[in-house]
Amino acid sequence: MSSGKENIFQYRLKTIITVMTAVIIAGLVMGFVWKNIDIGRMKNLDYRIHSQYILHRTESDPAALLTAVTEQLKKNKIFVIDRYQTSPTQWEILGHPGRIWLTSEFISKITVVDTVAIVEGGEQGPQRILVASLGSIETGSKEFVFLFFLAVAATLAVLVRKEAFPHIYGGNLKREDKRR
């Protein structure tokens, strides 16, 4: 480094910038892949095992219930990220508490299933019932943040000059060399 500044790295600045850029880009790609894996896991989660019943409606229009559930999610500050139909009788809504995956501890899925059943106490015989179930999984966002931090810190630990860190490497460098 010029103008009297001591270089804290053991390589040229151009090399440092290239390596750090590569680490950051690799980290961002990893984050994108991790997010997609989390969403994929959530989509494949079997609602019959991992979800809890939350409500049911004896409505004939699934769209009305889906809109009501979506509104309810928004009220509870859950950001809806996807809404799709998996079969003629099943719909799913995905959401997480943060605006983006990185700030969300979990992803939730509401599964709405259109069934025909006999309503207890009802006199009209079998009726259409829309049943909604809620399931959640933890995201890997926290682990990703720490891994990203680890990658950056570990890369810096390799790139710096030992002499610039006297609290760790100072004092006994000659002794260190003998200890092999």
Partner 1 sequence: MTTRSKRIFAFGRCEVIIFSLAVALRLAFMLIMIGDIGSDHLIDKYPDPIKYVRAGDYIFGGDDAGKIDLYLVGPGYPMLLGLSKNLIGPVYWPVLLFQIILSGLTCVLIYRLSKLLLENEYISVGAGLWAALSLTSITLANAVASETLFVFLATLTLYLYFKSLMSVRWAPAVGAGIAGGLAVLTRSVFMFYPLMLFVFALLFPVINGIVTRKRMILNTIVCCLIIVLISIGWGLRNYRAHETFTISATGLLAAKTYLTAKVLVEGEQQKPERMVSIRDSIFQSALHDFKAGRFRDNRDESIDFIYSTFKRFPDLFIKQYLRIVMYNVTAVSSLQNVLVPSWKGLFEAIDNYVHRGYDNPAYFMLSLVGFMVLWRKNRRIAVILLLNVLYYAFLSGVTFGQGSRIFYPAAMTQTILIVAGIIFLFDLLRVLATQFLIGPRINTKSQTKS
Query: CA 131, 132, 133: angle at the middle one, nearest 5?
Result: 125
Q: Which residues, other chains included, contact 61 with Cβ-Cβ below 8 Å and sequence gap of 6+?
A: none
Q: Among residues 84 and 146, whose Cβ is nearest to partner 1?
A: 146
Q: Residue 136: phi, psi to the nearest 5?
A: -135, 150
Least Cα distance to 73 among 18, 101, 110 occurs for: 110
Binding mask 4-43 for partner 1 (x = CB under 8 A): xxx-x-----------------------------------
Strand order in the sheet with 52-57: 52-57, 126-138, 106-118, 90-96, 79-87
Cβ 178 to partner 1 shortest distance, Å: 6
Stretch that binds partner 1, among 56-64, 109-117, 118-126, 168-176 (CB under 8 A): 168-176
* Alpha carbon distance 75, 72 (integer Å): 5
Cβ 31 to partner 1 shortest distance, Å: 15
Q: Does 162 bind partner 1 (CB under 8 A)?
A: yes
* Near partner 1 by CB under 8 A: residue from 63, 87, 158, 174: 158
Q: Residue 119: phi, psi to the nearest 5?
A: -80, 130
Q: Among residues 19 and 156, whose Cβ is nearest to partner 1?
A: 156
Q: Return residues touching partner 1 (CB under 8 A).
A: 1, 3-6, 8, 46, 49-50, 105, 142-143, 146-147, 149-150, 153-154, 156-158, 160, 162, 164-165, 167-172, 175-176, 178-180
